[in-house]
Structure 1
Amino acid sequence: MPRREHAVVVGGSLAGLLSARVLLDHFEQVTLLERDTFPDEPVSRPGVAQGRHLHVLWDHGRGLINGLLPGVEAAMLAQGAPDLRLPADFLWLTSGGWRRRFDTARMLTFSRGLLDWAVRKELFARPRLAVRTGVEVTGLTGSSGDETVTGVRYRERGDASRTEERMPADLVVDATGRGSHAPEWLAELGRPLPRETKIDPLLGYASRYYAIPSGFDPGWKALYIQAGPPRARRTGGLFPQEGGRWICSLSGAGGDYPPTDEEGYLEYARGLRDPVLYEAIKDAEPLTPVVSFRRTAGHRRHYERIRSWPEGFAAIGDSVCAFNPIYGQGITVAAASALELGRMLREDRTTRWFQKRVKRAGAGAWLISTGEDRRYAETQGPPVPPHTRVINAYVDLAVRAANVDPESCADMLDVLGLAKPPTSLFRPASLARVIAARTKPPVDRPWSTEHASR
């Protein structure tokens, strides 16, 4: 195996942090380059575009994070991150009706600032990791003929007049997110621009924090009111977070964006498929202004198709594939992709092989998010394949089965949490449960804990 002295990670996103963790197992030195600065406290930072919106971690993702950084979950729980039973602690209106409150799985809810802080706290304590902030990478360096990437060019952020410097590396990992300049960097090395696929449901978010009212105990801890496409475009989530507060995130597809003014925000919440979320927040104390986010299109760069992909360079996370964040799967995909990076190094594979594995790691999340996004007539992107409508029709039946049958619910949560591929819903046992559940009556609104089943 080649000697591995130095790896560079460009971008302090979660995918970048987890990549750095994996690289420490294989390189004598790892350097993390980030444009912004990292706060010392568990708060949001400007470089994380979705930092002030709703974040969750499914069971499978928790297991992956714990395997990479065993102290992260304990640190988050110590800070008060709620550990919820799923869906027993939820009042959940799915696209197919109310979901019975089975005790099937668990979900960690938290602010993004808390997760990133906990990851940095454990990661940055490890030796052989150098962290440089306020640094802007401007390009890649290559060997003779540019067959291999040999490092990066960089400068201090905000000083375009300063001479670029060079940092040699045996491996460069791009984790700069949706706004990655990797296509331009590769073009400078003579590589073709990657083909890109974009599916945009014209979805926008608006979120704010509320204090949980003293003595508030309706029998649920979290609310999730999903859209009912194609007509009902609005979704609302009200989840507890550390610090005894709620985060309320409202979203709408097809250009039905939630407003950011006080009156408009509450009125939008009243227009969800059920008024229970509005009733919970209308008299609650707001802790922050309403903040919006609309850069939610599904976006995939097909790096795996570039046959002349240079050795010594890899792209990961949203730099490769960004999903509509409403499904809460990006953290899990980032962790799974980081593990594939470790596999590449253990097995001495090529970086082009890694790009194929990154695509596979995000395939389930891409299929789920784009399949749902294409239900709206306003969605922009490639034509909807005929088989997508057939699949969506079956998924509707599977959702209704998950509402009333505990085993079907477990099947569905495994898929949503990426523990199993979406194709698992078509296996004979799952198919039989979906068919059997068609005769069961739908669930009335399950107000209290007496509806929770174990």
Structure 2
Amino acid sequence: MGGTTLTRRRHAVVVGGSLAGLLSARVLLDHFEEVTLLERDGFPGEPVSRPGVPQGRHLHVLWEHGRGLLDGLIPGLESDLLAGGAPDLRLPADFLWLTSGGWRRRFDTTRMLTFSRGLLDHAVRGRLFGEPRLAVRTGIEVTGLTGDEAVTGVRYTERGDAARAEELMAADLVVDATGRGSHAPAWLAELGRPLPRETRIDPLLGYASRYYAIPPGHDPGWKALYLQAGPPEAKRTGGLFPQEGGRWICSLSGAGGDYPPTDEEGYLEYARGLRDPVLYEAIKDAEPLTPVVSFRRTAGHRRHYDRMRSWPAGFAAIGDSVCAFNPIYGQGITVAAASALELDRMLREDRSTRWFQRRAKRAGAGAWLISTGEDRRYAETQGPRVLPHTRLINAYVSLAVRAANTDPDSCADMLDVLGLAKPPTSLFRPAALARIMANRSRPPEAAPLLPEPAAR
């Protein structure tokens, strides 16, 4: 059946310098004599985006639960982010937030960090790359795995050198962290393993983002704007969040093929078409700092490695290589951290790599359920047919959203689920259910201009 425990722990190889790859390397250093990180691109010396992170120039947030997981894996990371200028926001007190069920009152419920992806990755690398037992090699293209019943290493070439022959690197454990574009299914097929079944759900959603300078003296009573879509008809979402350097990142997105344009006039006109003009009014006279950049690889996929009849020892897939979901919900960082902790548990408890694949699926289960459930609200979404129970769940979630808009305890319940501190099933527990039903008939709030006077 494969997937036996590791017999040696001398050398581990991580393929891919994604956040999941960096966190995997951090964990492996606690269990192996040497760790090698192989990345096809380079790593910048400054906190800027890089080509190997295609979604890196768009909006990133870190929920409170993920913040704790990350700082546990890399002590001091949170202080580095704050020192780098990452805003620390009260959620939703600092937000003007239009949900699918109306405006949300501004309770002081939890916290959220916002930052550029460049700052986050730079801070992680700064804490990690000084470790002498970690070898970092860039410009490396991994072409396959070596081994049979167990993976024994990788095959690779120097990127851009077509004449150079493949080389081999031995490893007791190989971790694939190459993200959405992972070639692991083909690598496993070369070893005679059947290809895993894959579930794919595509809401046909596209992003367009740019930075703006926050106007001097700007103080409208909020620090961040979040105008959500109102499916199935209203497909557009807009976020305007502060980041380090005294700037806003504005990310506009549209589902069902309603993609935001990247030209100046079209971008502003698209923002004007959001469910409320407040974001458009904020940016129409603000100073743009960058061109508009787009991103459309937002389909969710789930590779069911946990269901394969035969899984090799010495190989693990993590992060978006296993399960990627619509990034609009801001849960990828938290899932990457949770998955890295499962990798650590596998090694501490001497579990098999097959066991890890089951745990990796579980680490992303909540985010998958939330994102795909919301994505299925659009008629244009591509994927398996929508089952009746999905429609019932979505109807209940709509009631939960409305309750969270006006009731502080329901808001805390909802944010715990969105931030992955609690599973989505927690919304069905008796206390949460009672709050949701008690608030189901309350009328939607008008746009609140000030936070709640009494913090929770």
Q: Shorter-chain-normalised TM-score: which range? A: over 0.9
> Residues 203-222 of structure 1 correspond to what in structure 2 (within 5 A)?
203-222=205-224
Q: Which residue of 2 aligns with 1:334?
A: 336
Q: 1:35 aligns with which of 15, 36, 40?
A: 40
Q: 1:51 aligns with which of 44, 50, 56?
A: 56
Distance in 1 between residues matched to 2:340 and 2:85, nearest whole Å: 27
Aligned length: 451
TM (norm. structure 2) is 0.98
Q: Tell me if the contact between 1:205 and 1:258 (Cα under 8 Å) persists in the aligned partners.
A: yes
Distance in 2 between residues matched to 1:89 and 1:67, nearest whole Å: 26
TM-superposed CA distance for 1:438, in Å, is 2.1
Q: Tell me if the contact between 1:218 and 1:448 (Cα under 8 Å) persists in the aligned partners.
A: no
Q: Which residue of 2 aligns with 1:408?
A: 410
Deviation per CA, 1:296-334: give whole Å up to 9, x if none. Answer: 000111111112111000000111111100000000000
TM-superposed CA distance for 1:159, in Å, is 1.3
Q: 2:100 aligns with which of 95, 102, 118?
A: 95
> Residues 124-273 of structure 1 correspond to what in structure 2 (within 5 A)?
124-142=129-147, 146-273=148-275
TM-superposed CA distance for 1:124, in Å, is 0.8
Deviation per CA, 1:196-229: give whole Å up to 9, x if none. Answer: 1100000000000000000000000000000000
Distance in 1 between residues matched to 2:75 and 2:293, nearest whole Å: 33
Q: 1:17 aligns with which of 10, 16, 22?
A: 22
Distance in 2 between residues matched to 1:166 and 1:384, nearest whole Å: 46
Q: Tell me if the contact between 2:47 and 2:119 (Cα under 8 Å) persists in the aligned partners.
A: yes
Distance in 1 between residues matched to 2:27 and 2:284, nearest whole Å: 46
Q: 1:427 aligns with which of 425, 429, 439?
A: 429
Q: Which residue of 1 aligns with 2:317?
A: 315
Secondary structure in 2 matching 1:101: coil
Deviation per CA, 1:261-302: give whole Å up to 9, x if none. Answer: 000000000000000000000000000000000000001111
TM-superposed CA distance for 1:442, in Å, is 2.3
TM-superposed CA distance for 1:453, in Å, is 4.8
Distance in 1 between residues matched to 2:217 and 2:11, nearest whole Å: 55
Q: Tell me if the contact between 2:93 and 2:452 (Cα under 8 Å) persists in the aligned partners.
A: no
Counterpart residue identity of residue 244, structure 1: G
> Residues 49-88 of structure 1 correspond to what in structure 2 (within 5 A)?
49-88=54-93
Secondary structure in 2 matching 1:38: coil
Counterpart residue identity of residue 184, structure 1: A
TM-superposed CA distance for 1:451, in Å, is 6.3
Moved more, 237-246 or 351-360: 351-360
Distance in 2 between residues matched to 1:233 and 1:222, nearest whole Å: 20
Instruction: Flag the 1:178–1:452 CA change in 2: closer, same or farther, 3 A.
Output: farther
Instruction: Flag the 1:386–1:439 CA change in 2: closer, same or farther, 3 A.
Output: closer
Secondary structure in 2 matching 1:141: strand
Q: Which residue of 1 aligns with 2:399?
A: 397
Counterpart residue identity of residue 410, structure 1: A
Distance in 2 between residues matched to 1:161 and 1:356, nearest whole Å: 40
TM-superposed CA distance for 1:73, in Å, is 1.1
Would you say 1:106 and 2:108 are equivalent positions? Answer: no
Distance in 2 between residues matched to 1:328 and 1:156, nearest whole Å: 34
Secondary structure in 2 matching 1:365: helix
Q: Tell me if the contact between 1:82 and 1:110 (Cα under 8 Å) persists in the aligned partners.
A: yes
Q: Tell me if the contact between 1:336 and 1:361 (Cα under 8 Å) persists in the aligned partners.
A: yes
Distance in 2 between residues matched to 1:259 and 1:440, nearest whole Å: 37
Counterpart residue identity of residue 416, structure 1: L
Distance in 2 between residues matched to 1:21 and 1:415, nearest whole Å: 27
Q: Tell me if the contact between 2:107 and 2:451 (Cα under 8 Å) persists in the aligned partners.
A: no
Counterpart residue identity of residue 44, structure 1: S
Counterpart residue identity of residue 18, structure 2: S
Distance in 2 between residues matched to 1:248 and 1:258, nearest whole Å: 12
Distance in 1 between residues matched to 2:194 and 2:412, nearest whole Å: 44
What percent of counterpart residues are identical? 86
Distance in 2 between residues matched to 1:104 and 1:280, nearest whole Å: 25
Counterpart residue identity of residue 125, structure 1: G
TM-superposed CA distance for 1:71, in Å, is 1.6
Counterpart residue identity of residue 100, structure 2: S
TM-superposed CA distance for 1:161, in Å, is 1.9
Secondary structure in 2 matching 1:415: helix
Distance in 2 between residues matched to 1:152 and 1:262, nearest whole Å: 46
Q: Tell me if the contact between 1:61 and 1:331 (Cα under 8 Å) persists in the aligned partners.
A: yes
Q: 2:384 aligns with which of 382, 385, 406?
A: 382
TM-superposed CA distance for 1:406, in Å, is 0.5
Q: Tell me if the contact between 1:4 and 1:170 (Cα under 8 Å) persists in the aligned partners.
A: yes
Deviation per CA, 1:372-423: give whole Å up to 9, x if none. Answer: 0000000000001110000000000000000000010000000000000000
Distance in 1 between residues matched to 2:214 and 2:45, nearest whole Å: 26
Deviation per CA, 1:77-118: give whole Å up to 9, x if none. Answer: 001100000000000000000000000000000000000000
Q: Which residue of 2 aligns with 1:288?
A: 290
Distance in 1 between residues matched to 2:195 and 2:452, nearest whole Å: 57
TM-superposed CA distance for 1:436, in Å, is 1.2
Aligned alpha-carbon RMSD (Å):
1.0
TM-superposed CA distance for 1:437, in Å, is 1.2
TM (norm. structure 1) is 0.98
Q: Tell me if the contact between 1:8 and 1:169 (Cα under 8 Å) persists in the aligned partners.
A: yes
Counterpart residue identity of residue 387, structure 1: H
Q: Which residue of 1 aligns with 2:355?
A: 353
Q: Which residue of 2 aligns with 1:444?
A: 446
Q: Which residue of 1 aligns with 2:3?
A: none
